[in-house]
Structure 1
Amino acid sequence: MEDLSIQHVHLELSENLEAHRTQGFSNANALVVRRGAPFRVSVQLKGRPFNPTTDYLRIRVSLGRLYVLMPVTFSRRAPSSRWSAHIDPTTSNKQTLFISICAPASSPVGSYRVQLSVFTQDRQRSAANGSFILLCNPWCSEDEVYIPFEDQREEYVQSDSGLLFKGTPMNLVSRPWSFDQYEPGVLEACLNLLQVSPQHKRNRTKDYRNRCDPVYISRVVSAMINCEDDRGVLKGNWSNDYKQGVSPSKWTGSGDILKQWAQSGFSPVKYGQCWVFAAVMCTVMRVLGVPCRVVSNFNSAHDTNDNLVIEEYYSETGQKMNLSKDSIWNFHVWVECWMSRRDLGSEMDGWQVLDPTPQERSGGVFCCGPAPVKAIRSRRIDLLYDVPFVYAEVNADVHTIILGQGQVVGFSKDTEKVGSLICTKAVGFPRLQNITGDYKFIKGPTSTISSMSSTMSEDSTTSRGSSKGVLVSLSLDKSPVAGEPIRFMVKVMNKQSVTKRLKVHVNAQAKEYNHSPSDTFWENHAVLQLAPMEVTVLRNQILPAQFEHVDEDILINLAAVLEDMSSHERFLASEEFNITSPELIVQVAEESIVPNKDHAATVSFTNPFPHPVSGVLTVTGAGLIHGKTQFRMSTLRPGGRIEQNVTFNPSMAGVKMLQASLSLSDRNIVIRGFTMVHINRV
């Protein structure tokens, strides 16, 4: 009789992918499983039947030079802290054995080799080789990334689309983004990111051992998303010159970026800004099994000298001046990852801030975090990693200084501006969730995000709330919209019992979200006389033709400076705001959407601009459309409307995002729209 040998090992892909909630990775044709949970393989034998009294099986699992040898037993009782394998007697027979393999919840993440060997009584050996990819497991209570709610696991691990929030607190922009973690090539690119990291190149075995720890993994990924110290994914660019690459505002998802990086031999992709860095990191962390969400911090401080104070300087005529290394970004985007912090204590478990945008070095490289959100709220600036830096981003004070002929002629202090709104996408719904209270103690009732905030300033010798001096406020009539005038008012109150004569300077400057403003593009000057205790309102407007040059992602700094002509005291009110772009309307024609069937959608656009526009319409949808569908839009007159029909074919059940973007030909503006598509099981 022919001796016993292994004919074939089946990895039971369909069964295992479903059991491990990794079926989205089925296009990789690889076994993708999660640590801390068993997966099953079947072994087809040939020759004589398997005899459990004389024959035995052994499995060798290896990650680089690390390996584990384990006997295949008939007992399911094995310590969860060790690799184990057992034969399922209820489904096995003498020619086919079903084996359950389980990796501890503390196993390193990576691509493993597996060798299964059968030994007979006379020491003959037959072996078969295979491979599998092991990820973190937020469904396993023993895993350090365990998150206890199913809706959060669906949102922060499985969802392949989301919203990023930009603009200003008074005029939020919801930016659709496709995380693309299930798109072909993305899983491989994320694993390659770990392999080309400096930590892996320096000491592969040590790197593999450390990959059991989500704190370690997250710091490696944070550094590898930017390319400042390594062969990272993205090159940052805030210069407005993107001729050598792609403007950050043109990206619609992470997949194109990660695949371009991998296909180029790991050359950095040009270009990214904070929301692109964060969104790509969110993709990588979700692929690796670590719950992750994108977070926006509005009025985010960059405190370069660690004094928790940001100085802002204005001229006598209201022009903002670039005199400080400190800065306030109108918004800044990072990620939070959910994990236990055994290095800091269980009181610091939960959401951790990680920031891949290269701002400051941490441990010698451009990365940031993981900084526990709980540590930021309680000001535990003694803890790892980068808690003081993130604390300043959400809590620094702002000192506003007015300069005249090199002298300080006005001063005010604001303790509320920085970190005025911190938000993320809500679980299960395409809307904002305000998480400011997770980072800081909120003083007084929280204002709604749609309210028109204005900066109030008193004279240089009194603080806010004083009963003397001049009070000035600046407020917009409504959120500014492209193609419409910007209308605003400056309200001035004489709070003293003497008549005042005031010079009024109003000034508008364009600015990028992370820079000081450029030169003035609009201004207005007047002289005003106020009787004792009189209040007056000055109404102004900036016409569309005067701010047409303000491209997407550019904001406007509007400031009013008043000078008391007798005392020469100055009073300042300022506001920074963005221009809301029009939206594309994306509609799905059918109510019942099922996988593997063509369905129809319509994208429509009405031109709000006072001039004709043309451009290229791009429609994408992870799990809905393979690649991109593009259409060239002919010239559309002002007020004109266009509709474009689109066909999509879902690959699997679930909630997916169908998004469209219109890139205008004559200016750096991208108009967007999206709809969520609910795909039913057949």
Structure 2
Amino acid sequence: MEPIEVQSTEFYPKDNARENHTAEYDLVNNPDFPTPILRRGCNFFFAIRFNRDFDEINDVVRVRFGFGPKPNVIRGTRAILPILARQKVLPKNTHMWSSCVTRIDGNIVMLQVHIPPNAQVGIWKCSIQTNISGQRDKRYDHKVEDDIYILFNPWCEDDGVYMPDEKEKQEYILNENGKIWCGTFKKPVGRHWIFGQFDDIVLPAAVLLLDKSGLAPADRGSPVLVTRAISAVINSVDDDGLLEGRWDGNYSDGTSPHAWTGSVAILDQYLRTGGTPMKYGQCWVFSAATVSVCRALGIPCRSVTNYVSAHDTNCSLTVDKYFDLFGNKIENGPEGDCNDSCWNFHVWNDVWMTRPDLPPGYGGWQIIDATPQEQSDRIFRCGPASVEAVRKGLVGYLYDTPFVFSEVNADIIHFQEDQNSDWGFSRLKINQYHVGRKIVTKRSDLTDEKGDSDMWNITSFYKNLEGTEAERLAVYNAVKGVPKAQHLYDFPSEVQEDVFFDLVDIDSIPFGENFEVRVEMENRSGETRTISAVLSASSIFYTGVTASQVKRLQQTFTLDSNQKETLKITITPEEYLDKLVDHGLIKIYAIANVKETKQTWSEEDDFTLIKPEITVEIADACKVGEDCSVSLSFQNPLDLPLTDCIYTIEGLQKPKTVQFRDVQPKETVNISDSFKAKRPGERRIVVNFNSRQMQGISGTSKVTVLL
């Protein structure tokens, strides 16, 4: 008697997708080659067609599922499931691979298979071994060609990423559209982004990235280790990951970070080039791509923006800034080795999971950061760091908690050159309230197409209210664990301060308009005071690095008792336009010294120049696979032409980038284009317009696509 042979198999991708919450994936819905996409902790149906009727007494059939290049039962990367006709229901132990026979119909056997909730995530392969009972000298092995994707399962209580709130799952797993906040803490600007986690190339690209990360196959069932690997491989440093970062404004040999409208084009090009890093990304692009990869793999993920984000390079829990005798900032400090900085904003990610490696109470949202800033265990990666541990200043908990704590809590210290000081500098001020001014993400219950009412201020989750006893306690908890920080928190008492200074805040200025920088002063003593003051304005990259000085004023004057005075400079478009860099950010520094009392004062502020918005109008009737027209319009606010123009449309089809003509000064631009939607339902279109003079002009609109 010959062993039974497998003729074909069927995974019923669309039917199984309903129970496994994977029906949105394009790979499942491919009309020619539907791919099974399943979640751990779930069941799926699987049919085998043999060359003859199945003989439950004599035929021995084993279904084998394997993960990685060398599947191994001990490591949990191989499961062997014998077909037992007597096994009519699945075993109660849900933490093991198991199967049962639901029907035998001649030569067709229908199985139900259970995936354990800790199974490795990625592509599994299936093979079927057959032989005759009592005969081991002859057997057949059938290799199933289908790739079987197994994902994390936030619907399963036994999965480490289980998320109980249904609305949160809708946002953090299923929502393909979102916002990433840029701008400044005084004027946050929501940037629309298409995450596209269900696109047919995103899941394969995510698996390729995990392979690139070097994470051992046996470890790919741990959300802690998988998200740590993702934080490393989204950037290209160390491992030829997804995106190469660039912050100097020169993107001529790649794509400007401002030109991306979603993650699909990035992941598509990466997959098609066999893993060549895409040029270029900055923090919000790294974060957006991280959302796409995490959600595609089943990990709840959101993009988070920290306004005034400290980059502490020497583990002191402070950001140290140095100024010379004349009030000019000394880049990189007096020795050239101080690279501390404050980014106007920095975007990272929160991922949701349990933390079995930490004490109870530190699960939930965990911070990962894919922007390559500092090495962690010799690799550029960051996290997952427990948000709750950061809030309490418990910097001893894994992973990279001290670095993240500094990002939201570091104190800023200004030092000025002082010839009477033993080490050449004296402290101007310590600012305990500037860093981590506002931490935001998108609300899960609202999407605002035209405004930013869907911004959710989550600062209180990361840090206690500034100035409160709980906030200082968290800082001192952290200081106790960081020896380099301790000497910076023991300063001598303050000198007499009887002159009041105030740098007047600027929220935002439209592109092409004048702005004024003012410092108000008042002598509150009964004597005359002599004041030396410096006021400067510079264009900066959003990382805090100075690009060009725009204007500077230095002045010495006297104030009589109780006298008030205003020091101000007016800056015109002609003075700043050719010095602007990405995001149109301006940094103000003000420094003052009082001769009679040795009182010193310094302050800093920044603001952004506001760009126009694109108006997006879409035809009322839009059907899958048919041309749908879209109209775009905006006005050039400058007295200069916009050159090297391109625009990108994304959201209802693959991203589309179009070269465009020069735009004349003050011209109102009208563009007509079309697209073909590939899926029905309520969808969103995102448009981005870039030129040499102004990048990141954007707009969005919602559209209902019919079958």
TM superposition score normalised by structure 2 = 0.85
Q: Which residue of 2 aligns with 1:9?
A: 9
The answer on whether the counterparts of 1:317 and 1:507 sit within 8 Å (CA) in structure 2 is no
Residue 252 of structure 1 aligns to a residue whose secondary structure is coil
Q: Which whole-Å deviations, capped at 9, do the CAs of 1:104-130 have from their partners, x for residues lacking one?
A: 001011211112456667979674624
Counterpart of 2:79 in structure 1 is 68
Q: Is the 8 A contact 2:308 2:344 kept in 1?
A: yes
Any idea what SS the aligned residue of 2:252 has?
coil
Kindly report which structure 2 residues correspond to 1:598-677, keeping only aligned pairs within 5 A, or say none: 598-613=627-642, 616-622=645-651, 624-628=652-656, 630=658, 632-638=660-666, 640-664=667-691, 666-667=692-693, 669-677=695-703
Please, which of 178, 194, 211 is the counterpart of residue 162 of structure 1?
178
CA contact (8 A) 2:259 2:648 kept: no
Using the alignment, how far apart are the partners of 1:467 and 1:316 within structure 2?
21
Larger deviation, residues 391-400 vs 481-490: 481-490
Contact 2:258 2:690 in 1 (8 A): no
CA positional deviation for 1:54? 5.4
Name the structure 1 match of 2:612: 582
* Pairs within 5 Å for 1:251-650: 251-322=260-331, 323=333, 324-403=338-417, 408=425, 411-430=428-447, 431-443=454-466, 468-476=497-505, 478-526=507-555, 528-549=557-578, 550-564=580-594, 569-590=599-620, 595-596=624-625, 598-613=627-642, 616-622=645-651, 624-628=652-656, 630=658, 632-638=660-666, 640-650=667-677
Q: Which whole-Å deviations, capped at 9, do the CAs of 1:579-602 have from their partners, x for residues lacking one?
A: 222111223443x76655554433
Structure 1 gaps of 5+ residues are 200-206, 446-459
* 1:354-411 deviation line (CA, Å, top 9, x unaligned): 1122222212211111111111111111111111111111111111223356854661
Of 114-123 and 21-30, the range deviating more from structure 2 = 114-123
Alpha-carbon offset, residue 11 of structure 1: 1.8
- Paired letter, 2:695: I
Partners of 1:338 and 1:352 within 8 A in 2:
yes
Q: Decide whether aligned partners of structure 1 residues 594 and 375 sit closer, same or farther in structure 2, where only a CA change above 3 A counts.
A: farther
Question: What CA deviation, in whole Å up to 9, does each residue of 1:80-136 have, x standing for no partner?
Answer: 1111122224xx644544322121001011211112456667979674624311111
Unmatched 5+ stretches in structure 2: 72-77, 448-453, 469-490
| Greater Cα offset, 552-561 or 62-71 | 552-561
For residues 35 and 427 of structure 2, what CA distance do their matches in structure 1 show?
65
1-side partners of 2:492 and 2:552: how far apart? 27
Question: Could you list the per-position Cα deviations for residues 190-230 of structure 1 after superposition, in whole angstroms to 9, with x for gaps in the alignment?
Answer: 1111223334xxxxxxx111111111111222221222222
Number of equivalences: 651
124, 128, 137: which one pairs with 1:112? 124
Report the equivalent of 2:189. Answer: 173
CA distance in 1, matches of 2:358, 2:251: 42
Asked if 1 retains the 8 angstrom alpha-carbon contact of 2:395 and 2:402, the reply is: yes
> Which of the numbers 150, 161, 176 marks the counterpart of 1:134?
150
For residues 160 and 106 of structure 2, what CA distance do their matches in structure 1 show? 40
Aligned pair 1:224/2:224, yes or no?
Answer: no
Q: Is the 8 A contact 2:512 2:639 kept in 1?
A: yes
Write the distance in 2 (CA, Å) between the matches of 1:411 and 1:614. Answer: 44
Q: Structure 2 vs 1, CA of residues 2 and 564 (structure 1 numbering), >3 Å: closer, same or farther?
A: closer
Name 1:455's counterpart in structure 2.
none
Seen in structure 2, the aligned counterparts of structure 1 residues 47 and 519 have a Cα distance that, compared at 3 Å, is closer
CA shift, 1:484, in A, is 1.5
Work out the CA distance in 2 between the residues paired with 1:109 and 1:631.
Answer: 40
Percent identical residues: 29
CA-to-aligned-CA distance 1:545-570 (integer Å, 9 cap, x gap): 21112133242111233344555644
Name 2:477's counterpart in structure 1: none
Matched-pair contact (CA < 8 Å) for 2:265–2:655 = no
Which residue number corresponds to residue 456 of structure 1?
none
Comparing 375-384 with 483-492, greater Cα deviation is found at 483-492
Letter in 2 for 1:403: E
Of the three residues 90, 95, 112, the one matched with 1:100 is 112
State how far apart, in whole Å, the 2-side matches of 1:71 and 1:643 are: 65
The answer to which of 152-161 and 140-149 deviates more is 152-161
Distance 1:399 1:521, change over 3 A: same
Q: In structure 2, what is the equivalent of residue 449 of structure 1?
A: none
Give me the whole-angstrom Cα distance separating, in 2, the residues matched to 1:545 and 1:77. Answer: 76
CA distance in 1: counterparts of 2:637 and 2:403, whole angstroms: 42
CA distance in 2, matches of 1:327, 1:415: 15
Q: 1:102 to 1:151 in 2, by over 3 A?
A: same
Measured against aligned partners, the alpha-carbon deviations of 1:402-426 in whole angstroms (never above 9, x if no partner) come to: 3356854661111111111111111
Are residues 405 and 674 of structure 1, via their aligned partners in 2, closer, same or farther at CA, if it must alter by over 3 Å?
farther
Cα 1:563–1:307 shift into 2, 3 Å: closer
| Within-5 A mapping of 1:179-190 | 179-190=195-206
Q: Is the 8 A contact 2:636 2:663 kept in 1?
A: no
Distance 1:674 1:306 in 2: 42
Distance verdict in 2 for CA 1:373–1:677, change over 3 Å: farther
Residue range with higher mean Cα deviation, 341-350 or 609-618: 609-618
Q: Distance in 2 between matches of 1:294 and 1:636?
A: 36
CA distance in 2, matches of 1:111, 1:565: 71
Residues in 1 aligned to 2:640 and 2:248: alpha-carbon distance in whole angstroms? 28
Kept in 1: contact 2:245–2:279 (CA 8 A): yes
Secondary structure of 1:579's counterpart equals strand
Q: Letter of the aligned partner of 1:423 in structure 2?
A: V
CA distance in 2, matches of 1:321, 1:121: 81
* Amino acid aligned to 2:126: V
Q: Deviations over 1:32-58 (max 9, x none)?
A: 11111011223345544x455555643
2:164 equivalent in structure 1: 148
Contact 2:663-2:669 at 8 Å conserved across structures: no
SS in 1 for 2:164: coil
Is this contact kept in 1: 2:616–2:633, CA < 8 A?
yes
Instruction: Write the letter of the residue equivalent to 1:422.
Output: I
- Counterpart for residue 40 of structure 1: 45
Question: Contact 2:287–2:303 (CA<8 Å) still a contact in 1?
Answer: yes
Query: Are the counterparts in 2 of residues 44 and 95 from structure 1 also a CA contact under 8 Å?
Result: yes
Q: Secondary structure in 1 aligned to 2:509? A: coil
TM-score by length of 1: 0.88
Shifted more, 261-270 versus 115-124: the winner is: 115-124
Confirm or deny: 8 A CA contact 2:636 2:668 kept in the other structure: yes
User: Counterpart of 1:87?
Assistant: 101
Distance change (3 Å), C-alpha of 1:362 and 1:478: closer
